[in-house]
Structure 1
Amino acid sequence: MPETTLADLAHEVRSKNAGPFWVTMELFMRDDDGYRIAADESFLNERVIAELYRVDADTVQLFRIPSLNVVKISFPRPVSQGSLRDRDIHAGQHHVPLARLPVERACR
């Protein structure tokens, strides 16, 4: 049986540039139960994002918005937008590791 991921519990998981130096990702959860998992600080926190995206945990910002069942995450881009080493100018693919994050341990 395949693992349940954040994407399975979300209406949408997306990423976008937030200016030339930041990436923002958003988890739009389907319901309160999915939001409870995504917003659980023991499951999804700055350290987890830092490991997924190889950034410093001190630079990660998480915003939990219960009235909308949304978790918003921002962190500095690894390289500035449009620079020679930028492989995703719109940051449109950065959400994939987050979307694939297994949630089994959060459901216990």
Structure 2
Amino acid sequence: MARLREVSRHVRSKQAGPFWVTMDIWFDGPGSFERYKASPALSPDVFGQLFGTDPALVKHIPVPELNLVKISYPRATPQGGILERDMHSGQQYVRLLDIELD
């Protein structure tokens, strides 16, 4: 099985307003994109477990023209709140890098 870091060109996370986080996964080519875009390892259930969010609210958007999968989910706490640990969500992607895709 390939790890996400091995089949992606770039992975990033960022805030998408005060209540949402977005992950962008650029695969290293059309072959990897087609093979892994719908991997169960990138499912709403996995994001729910990793980021403490309701899987029913996770959005999974493939963008074939860019070999990109965009995944958005609601933040566990609002941006800038007293429990905030990553104001701009720029470090959230790290949890995905070693996920094994099938």
| Aligned residue number for residue 14 of structure 2 | 16
**Equivalent residue letter for 1:18:** A
Give the drift of 1:43: 4.2
Distance 1:16 1:43 in 2: 20
Give the drift of 1:4: 3.3
Q: What stretches of structure 1 move > 4 A for 4+ residues in a row?
A: none
Structure 1: runs of 5+ lacking an equivalent: none
| Aligned residue number for residue 78 of structure 2 | 80
RMSD of aligned alpha carbons: 1.5
| Aligned residue number for residue 35 of structure 1 | 33
Conserved? CA contact 1:10–1:28, under 8 Å = yes
Deviations 1:65-108 (A, max 9, x none): 112100000011111111110000010011111222112xx1xx
Structure 2: runs of 5+ lacking an equivalent: none
SS at match of 2:100: coil
Distance 2:36 2:52 in 1: 20
After TM superposition, the score normalised by the length of structure 1 is: 0.86
